[in-house]
Structure 1
Amino acid sequence: MTNWIALFSGGKDSSWALYRALENGLSVSRLLTVHPAADSYMYHVPATDLASLAAESIGIELVEVDSAVGTGDVTDSGAQGDAELEPLERALSDLDREIGVDGLIAGAVESEFQTTRIAAMAERLGAETYTPLWERDPVSLAEAMLEAGFTIRIVQVAAAGLDESWLGRTLDRDALDELIDLNERYGVHVLGEGGEFETLVTDGPHMDRPIGLEYETEWDGTRGTLRITDAWLDR
């Protein structure tokens, strides 16, 4: 059996990559989540602690890795990215010895910084890569996610035009239209590829049960995040 490992945060991009892999018949043996110590060049940061609930709903075993490296630990961004990659590569090497790693699934859209490092890591492991979002039109990708039935919640914002009202909002057709307008006005990336916003997928066709949330919003006047106080799988 070919073992594919999905790099998984619970956000929309990694969830869509996983969904497309499953739709295309790839045998996904594990989900792998890295919990960054702080702001990160390599990883989705907010709400990764909910990846375990998502994995339970999806029905694929989750491997969790803590990264002790923060963006203030290394001054050069390239060295920072390499340092952040080390715990992930160690975990994948352990999985390779345990079950064999034949391929990596990643939700990269436009970031050369991330993609080149993941590709190089896969090559060192002797593994293939599957990146179904890579260099795709962001509006078409967002529309495909909505058409497939993804429920996407915005859990962090940090860009002009994205105020506190966006926190906890569902990324639906109306929100997408507004993001297209904000892209034209301020250059906000429609999928938040520049860190303008972060998401959590709470339901989708690849999940048996949706994730329920209780939360409070934290807003400093220019950016904000959801502080999730409780989360569960609905029956």
Structure 2
Amino acid sequence: MTDDSGAWVSLFSGGKDSSWALYRALQEGLDVRRLVTVHPEGDSYMYHVPATSLASLAAESVGVGLVEVEPDDFEAAEATDSGAQGDAELEPLEAALRDLDGEFPDGLAGVTAGAVESEYQTSRIEAMADRLGADVFAPLWQEDPRELAEAMLDAGFEIRIIRAAAYGLDESWLGRTLDAEALAELEELNEEYGVHILGEGGEFETLVTDGPHMERPIELDYETEWEGNRGQIVIKDARLG
């Protein structure tokens, strides 16, 4: 049960999961007043990493103000285990949310989260929200991956694959739109190699370039970069259409 009154903040990367959580929150009438994007350096246990620099374009298209947490705000990057690193990575986000809690006249009611299956991420976000006295809206949590993917496509989400690293995925997947045909191929790869059709195991990362919650699409000029069994798009230019 979530509090539908008061100010909400969307934890936002620009990828499909956080974008769906934002979209569903807006559908539910939650008063989303800020998007918060964390820009981690290198690999991250807590956050979606690639192309977070485009979150500002997405926020402009959505029409909600953006708060950006920069790498300099991370103080404990030398953590020696995954649990400690996850906790350390959460500290600057929690500090940003505390600032917003003080900024909103009626305080922070809750945060949206795009977690699907990661207990690691979800437990930390819920604990952080408890410390802030805020609710968590996580509409993807433990939902069927195929049904989620189809719901995103039915709603009109345009989802691009911007990073891939899994058996069965080659350079042709980079920049590809995640449509019905791609989903069918991912189901085959799931059966053959265990590839998660939503990329929950890090098999691929995405960027939402258009959707019903966006006034203008994000247009990209990019090149692909492939090394061995993994690669990503390298964005040369991005703009709102």
Same fold (TM over 0.5): yes
Q: How does 1:39-118 map to 2 (within 5 A)?
A: 39-68=43-72, 69=74, 73-99=78-104, 100-118=107-125
Match of 1:38 in 2: 42
Q: Which whole-Å CA distance do the structure 2 matches of 1:155 and 1:212 have between them?
A: 13
* CA distance in 2: counterparts of 1:168 and 1:73, whole angstroms: 33
- Code of the residue aligned with 2:69 in structure 1: it is V
Give structure 1 stretches of 5+ with no counterpart: none
1:150 shift after superposition: 0.3
Contact 1:105 1:130 in 2 (8 A): yes
Over the aligned positions, Cα root-mean-square deviation in angstroms equals 1.3
After superposition, where does 1:53-202 map in structure 2 within 5 Å?
53-68=57-72, 69=74, 73-99=78-104, 100-202=107-209
Measure, in 2, the Cα distance between the counterparts of 1:72 and 1:88.
14
Give CA deviations for 1:37-85 in whole Å, capped at 9, x if unaligned: 1110000000000000000000000000013459972221000100100
CA distance in 1, matches of 2:191, 2:175: 23
Rate the CA distance shift 1:110–1:211 in 2: closer, same or farther, 3 A. same
- 2:27 corresponds to 1:23: yes
Q: CA distance change for structure 1 residues 164 and 70 in 2, over 3 Å: closer, same or farther?
A: farther
Q: 2-side partners of 1:193 and 1:39: how far apart?
A: 15
Q: Could you say which residue in structure 2 is the equivalent of 1:2?
A: 6
Deviations 1:67-116 (A, max 9, x none): 34599722210001001001100100111111121101000000000000
What CA distance in whole angstroms lies between the structure 1 residues aligned with 2:233 and 2:79? 28
User: Which SS does the other structure have where 1:184 is aligned?
Assistant: helix
Change in Cα spacing, 1:29 to 1:219, as seen in structure 2 (3 Å) is same
Q: CA deviation at 1:10?
A: 0.2
Secondary structure of the structure 2 residue equivalent to 1:79: helix
| Identity in percent | 71
**Alpha-carbon distance between aligned partners in 2 of 1:73 and 1:190, rounded to the nearest angstrom:** 33
CA distance in 2, matches of 1:27, 1:98: 15
Structure 1 residue identity aligned to 2:45? Y
| Cα offset, 1:6, TM superposition | 0.3
Distance 2:65 2:76 in 1: 29
